[in-house]
Each structure stands twice: as structure tokens, then as C-alpha cells.
Amino acid sequence: MLFDDLFDSPQPGHREALGPQACVLRGHALDDVPRLLPALQDIQRAAPAKQLVTPGGRTMSIAMSNCGTLGWTSSRDGYRYTARDPATGQPWPPMPAVFLELARSAAAEAGHPDFTPDACLVNRYEPGTRLSLHQDRDEHDLGHPIVSVSLGIPAVFLFGGFQREDATQKVPLFHGDVVVWGGVDRLRFHGVQPVKEAEHPVLGRLRINLTFRRAG
């Protein structure tokens, strides 16, 4: 599948398996976009996205924020979840109802019922930015899935194995697509290739990724 100047998911309703308990739900978020975007603007006003520093001292290329009871953050002191935005000392914005509904419906559709996230990472990509291969393992209970929603310009998602050097699947993601992985696939390495230059008709030169987790 190639981008071919497409923005919305080209096969809404289609499910693509990435592993025994991992899949892409094409276009699953499209019907929620009219409610997602205003809620996203509220979050960005309350907790503006910022580029975090890794424990090794590297500045991440993407900018990040959070909503929910807990938010993921990084500094030279390590990766961790906090109840407050370290930049302001204020609690993270509450998770909007539409965010929670979308995360639950996508998880259930992918075979992970009864998922109730308490954290949503809001990742802001511009052309040229990327996310290195990593595992999501800072959560208290790894029995819950990850739900990842793509909005805006396309990107290529990398979905690998259980070692960083394992081969990766290269999965094009479009506006409205949702990736869900859990169970035996929960600790697979994953990342995002450098985002190509593009402009979405609504979000402009941006890709927004909403990543839902049960952290506490």
C-alpha cells in the first residue's frame, strides 16, 4: 500500500493483523474526528506539547503532552508516569469522553474487552520527525493493551519483535487508523519512520498520535 496522496484511511472498516493479538483497524476513528479535534485543542491549550529529554540527554524530535489521571514523561532522571505536568505543576487535563469511548471501542474491536485507559499520550509529529524503536513497559500492569490513534498526515509505523534488532513490519498509517496490540504482542518493539512532507486538509503539516494506556 502506498500513500498516493491519500489522507483518510483508504480502507475504512478493514482489519489488518500484525500479530496474534495485534492489528490495524483502518479508519476506526474517522467518525469520531469531529469530536476529537475540539477536545484535542482544549488539551493542547491546558498542557502544551513539548520536546522531552531522554535519560541519556537526547532531545526527542516529537513534541508530547498528556491527558488523563496519569501522564508519561521523560527527563535525565528517567521515564515515568506523573499525576501532574512537570512543566506547570498542574494536573494533566482530564481525558475527554470521546477519547475514552474511542479507546474502549477500538480495544474491544481488536479482541481486548474491558480496557479503560487512565493515560493518553498526545504525540505531535512534523515532517522529518520520527520515533525510535522502543517497548512500552513503564506501565504497572502489562496485561492491558496499547491503543494508538493516527490523525493528520500519513506515517509509516514500525512493528517489530521482542528484541530491538528483530525485523520490523512497515505499516502505512493514515488519518483515522487505529493500531491495537496487547497480550502476547504487548512488548513488541515499535516506532515511526521519519514522517514525509505532506499537508493534511484539516491538520496541516502535522501528524497527531493519541496513545492510550492503562498506567496505574
- At 6, the pLDDT band (50, 70, 90 cuts) reads low
Q: Which of 193, 205, 80, 101 is nearest to 147 (CA)?
A: 101
pLDDT at 93 over 70: yes
Total structural domains in the chain?
Answer: 1
- Which residue positions form the known binding site for substrate? 72, 79-81, 138, 164
In this structure, is residue 2 part of a structural domain? no
In a domain, 16, yes or no: no
Measured CA to CA, the distance from residue 68 to residue 83 in angstroms comes to: 9
pLDDT in tens, 141-191: 999 999 999 999 999 999 999 999 999 999 999 999 999 999 999 999 999
Residues in the annotated binding site: 72, 79-81, 123-125, 134, 136, 138, 164, 190, 207-213
| Angle value at C-alpha 20, between 189 and 216, nearest 5 degrees | 55
17 within a domain of the structure (yes/no): no
CATH number at residue 98: 2.60.120.590
Q: How many residues does the chain have?
A: 216
**Residue 107 covered by a domain:** yes
Say if 10 falls within a structural domain.
no
Q: Give me the sign of the Cα torsion angle 69, 52, 128, 156.
A: negative
| CA-angle at 16, arms to 10 and 21, nearest 5° | 150
Decide if 116 contacts 108 (C-beta within 8 A). no
Is pLDDT above 90 for 51? yes
Cell for 12? 475504512
Name the grid cell of 156: 509509516
Give domain status of residue 31, yes or no. yes
Contact predicate 11/27, CB 8 Å = yes
Residue 36: its H or E element = helix 33-46
Give dist(CA 183, CA 112) in Å, integer.
8
Owning domain of residue 190: 24-211
SS3 at position 199 = coil
Give binding residues for Fe cation as ranges. 134, 136, 190
Q: Is residue 121 part of a domain?
A: yes
pTM: 0.95
Q: Annotated binding site for 2-oxoglutarate, which residues?
A: 123-125, 207-213
Give DSSP secondary structure letters for 76-112. Answer: TTEEEEESB-TTTSSBPPPPPHHHHHHHHHHHHHTT-
pLDDT above 60: residue 3: no
